[in-house]
Structure formats: C-alpha cells, structure tokens
C-alpha cells in the first residue's frame, strides 16, 4: 500500500496536494540542509539493472553524485535526469556505456570523460536485479532511527563536495583546473601511480629530488622542490605559514585570511596554477630532459595567473611587472 501511495524512487512521489499532513512534514524534514537535503545525502543506491538510479543526480558510484564530481561534463550532458539504464544498454551479454553530449569536447574535457569512464566501468550492471536504496550510515544498509538521529546532530555535509565546489569556482584556465582536480582526486599519472597500474618502470623515484617515491602527495606537497615553490608563491603574496602535506587540506587551508570571496577565488586559482606548473615542469624534465628549477616554476605561476587576469579578469588593468611586484594591490580591486 505504501508503495502504491508514495512510490519507491526519489522522483516518483505523489503530488503534494494528495499527500497526508504527516507525510508532508516528514519530507520537509528530510529535505532540510540544502540541495536535495540531508536524507538524500545518507542514502546510496546499489545499482542492479539501472531502472531507478539517475545517472548524474543520484549517489551510486563513489561517495558523491557524478554531477558534483564532474560539473563540467554534467553541463554538457544530454543525459541529465536519465536513469542509468537509459545511458546505453546491452550488446548481447555485455553492457556498453554511451553518453550523449551537446557538442564535441575539448581535449581537457575528453580527459575528464576518460576518468568518468574508468569510474563507472567499476560498477557491474545486472540485468535481472532491481536498484535498491541503502542507508549508508549502517553497515547492514538498513535504515534505523538511531543512526538517522546521529546524522542530524551534529550535521555536516560531505567535505569533499565543498572542496570540489571551491576548486571549480577558482579563477584560472579550465586546463589548469583540470590538472588540479586530478591531483585532488589522486588520479595524476605519477610514477608510483603508473607502477600500481602495472606499467613497468626503471624507477619510481621522484623526478625532482630523486630521493623519495614519486607519489601524488610527495610530488606536489611533500617534495622539497615543491615546498620551495609553494614558499616562493606564499612569500610573493606576503603570507607566512606551513602548508599541510595532504592535497585536500592543503587546498582548503590555502586562503587569504583578510581577502574577500572574489580575491580568494583568484587565490585558489593560483593554487591550481602552482599545481599545474609543477606538473608541467615535472613533465618537461621527464620528456625533454630539462633541469629542475624552482624559480622557473615560480615565474611560470606568475605569468600564467597574470594571463588569466589580463584576458579573463574583470577590468584588470595592471601590467605584468605590477603583478610581479605587488600582487595584493592588483587584486584589491576585486572586493
Ligand atoms: Zn621529491
């Protein structure tokens, strides 16, 4: 009876005027906390045949929905609102994913699409099983009032969502954001990562220091080469502190304490530009046998960030030498 009256999926609710008072109250409480509400944040889909789960909007692979992790691809997708089973289908006994897009993708968007492909290919679509909702705060997957109470007090959203939101709002070039995003997800092909994927390498030593293993965390946040570059950039803005050595914490703590929201978006853009410049420099050492040079990376950060402000920034009138000499003054027009 409940099933016929209220439906089973999240988008199959009966219109509000036919709902009982207690049901209206219940749904209102569940939707508190922004977006789709805290309740939706605690349930996760276990995909069977993909008959109920919405591809972009529901949480079914990883801990966030795909539209949060890949907002750029979501905005280009013609599959918004589609169920998983509508994002292609069976070829004999093999499941094939085919996403449809509004237009061709740029190179950096294609990389993102490959990432998405790798992520969803981990999920096994099962022809004869229905999609079921699981309550993720209980290991049994079954809802309990006690665990719901614990979720509500104190309530906090998935911190990962906030990190990605800040990153995609950062002011810099999309290709720079793309690299930074891959670093935050630990999906950048460092030597250590390649070896984990089964690629045979002579060495997994860090290209910069040649001492430690070249993991994502080491290369960008722990290596003495990277730390030196971060320091140069912080000193350029007149900031002194010791950054975290873990990517997401490093990104989150990288802020201008006295800065406005807009200024901090530029500052987060500089964070992404530093990460991008480190990766570019590392690649030119590996592929072009360049020499490791901290100053060169730092100057690249200054130039790349200035280019963005000059061409994309709102009424940015400062010359490159102004930017190099006094960056805080240059961004003070962004209130
Ligand atoms: Zn190193």
Measured in Å, residue 281 CA sits from the centre of ligand 1 at: 13
For residue 109, the model assigns a pLDDT of: 82
Q: How far is the CA of 222 from the centre of ligand 1 (A)?
A: 7
Judge if 220 and 320 occupy the same domain.
yes
Residues 124 and 218 in one domain: no
pLDDT at 9: 47
How many domains does the chain fold into?
A: 2
> β-strand 132-135 against 94-97: which pairing, if any?
unpaired
What does the alpha-carbon distance between residue 38 and residue 31 come to, in Å, rounded to a whole number? 6
User: What is the 288 CA–ligand 1 centroid distance (Å)?
Assistant: 18
Same domain, 188 and 77: no
- Please check whether residue 7 lies inside any domain of the structure: no
Note whether 98 and 179 are same-domain residues.
Answer: no
Residue 255 lies in a domain: yes
Query: What pLDDT score was predicted for residue 220?
Result: 97
Same domain, 322 and 187: yes
CB-based neighbours (< 5 A) of ligand 1, an ion: 206, 208-209, 223
Distance (angstroms) between ligand 1 centre and the Cα of 271 equals 19
- Residue 16: inside a domain: no
pLDDT digits (tens, 9 = 90+) for 101-141: 888 888 878 888 888 888 888 788 887 888 888 777 766 66
Cα 108 to Cα 104, 176, 196, 285, 287, distances in angstroms: 12, 9, 24, 22, 20
Same domain membership, residue 318 and residue 171: yes
**Could you tell me if 123 and 184 lie in one domain?**
no
Strand-pairing partners, residue 97, are: 88
Residue 273: per-residue pLDDT:
97
DSSP 223: S
110 and 194 both lie in a single domain: no
Which pairing describes strands 88-91 and 94-97: parallel, antiparallel, or unpaired?
antiparallel
- Grouping H, G, I as helix, E, B as strand and the rest as coil, residue 135 is strand
Which residue range(s) make up the domain with 119?
41-129
Alpha-carbon distances, residue 266 vs 173, 232, 254 (angstroms)? 11, 17, 11
Q: Are residues 171 and 116 in the same domain?
A: no
Helix (H) or strand (E) run with residue 300 in it: helix 294-312
Query: Has residue 8 been placed in a domain?
Result: no
In a domain? residue 107: yes
Query: How far apart are the CA of 283 and the centre of ligand 1, in A?
Result: 14
- Counting as low any pLDDT under 70, the low residues of the chain are 1-41, 138-141, 143-160
Ligand 1 mean position, distance from CA 213 (Å): 7
> Distance between CA 213 and CA 219 in Å, rounded?
9
35 in the Ramachandran plot: left (φ > 0), alpha (ψ -120 to 50) or beta?
A: left
Final residue before a domain boundary, out of 129, 145, 176 = 129
The predicted pLDDT at position 307 comes to 95
Q: How far is the CA of 254 from the centre of ligand 1 (A)?
A: 21
The domain boundary, picked from 110, 129, 148, lies at 129
Helices (H), 95-173: 107-120, 145-152, 159-169
CA of 50 to the centre of ligand 1 (A): 44
Residues 203, 55 share a domain: no
> Do both 181 and 121 map to the same domain?
no
Q: How far is the CA of 211 from the centre of ligand 1 (A)?
A: 6
Regarding whether 188 and 93 lie in a shared domain, the answer is no
- For residue 290, how far is its CA from the centre of ligand 1 (angstroms)? 16
């Amino acid at each position: 009876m409940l099933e016929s009256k209220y439906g089973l999926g999240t988008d199959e609710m009966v219109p509000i005027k036919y709902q009982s008072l207690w049901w209206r109250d219940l749904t209102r409480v569940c939707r508190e906390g922004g977006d789709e509400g805290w309740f939706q944040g605690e349930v996760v889909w276990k995909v069977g045949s993909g008959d109920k789960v919405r591809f972009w909007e529901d949480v079914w692979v990883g801990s966030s929905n795909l539209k949060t992790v890949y907002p750029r691809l979501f905005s280009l997708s013609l599959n918004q609102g589609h169920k998983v089973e509508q994002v292609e289908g069976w070829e004999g006994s093999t499941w094939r994913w085919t996403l449809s897009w509004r237009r061709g993708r740029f190179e950096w968007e294609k990389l993102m699409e490959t990432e998405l492909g790798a992520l969803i290919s981990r999920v096994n679509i099962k022809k004869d099983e229905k999609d079921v909702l699981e309550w993720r705060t209980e290991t049994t997957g079954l809802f309990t009032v006690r665990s719901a109470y614990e979720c509500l007090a104190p309530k906090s959203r998935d911190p990962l969502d906030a990190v990605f939101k800040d990153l995609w709002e950062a002011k810099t070039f999309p290709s720079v954001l793309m690299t930074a995003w891959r670093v935050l997800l630990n999906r950048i092909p460092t030597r250590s990562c390649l070896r984990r994927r089964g690629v045979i390498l002579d060495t997994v030593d860090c290209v910069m220091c040649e001492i430690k293993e070249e993991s994502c965390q080491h290369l960008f946040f722990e290596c003495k080469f990277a730390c030196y570059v971060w320091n140069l950039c912080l000193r350029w803005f007149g900031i002194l502190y010791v950054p975290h050595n873990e990517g997401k914490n490093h990104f989150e703590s990288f802020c201008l304490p006295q800065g406005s929201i807009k200024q901090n978006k530029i500052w987060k853009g500089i964070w992404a530009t530093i990460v991008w410049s480190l990766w570019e420099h590392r690649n030119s050492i590996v592929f072009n046998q360049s020499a490791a040079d901290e100053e060169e990376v730092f100057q690249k950060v200054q130039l790349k960030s200035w280019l963005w402000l000059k061409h994309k920034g709102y009424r940015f009138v400062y010359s490159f030498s102004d930017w190099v000499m006094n960056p805080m003054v240059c961004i003070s027009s962004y209130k």
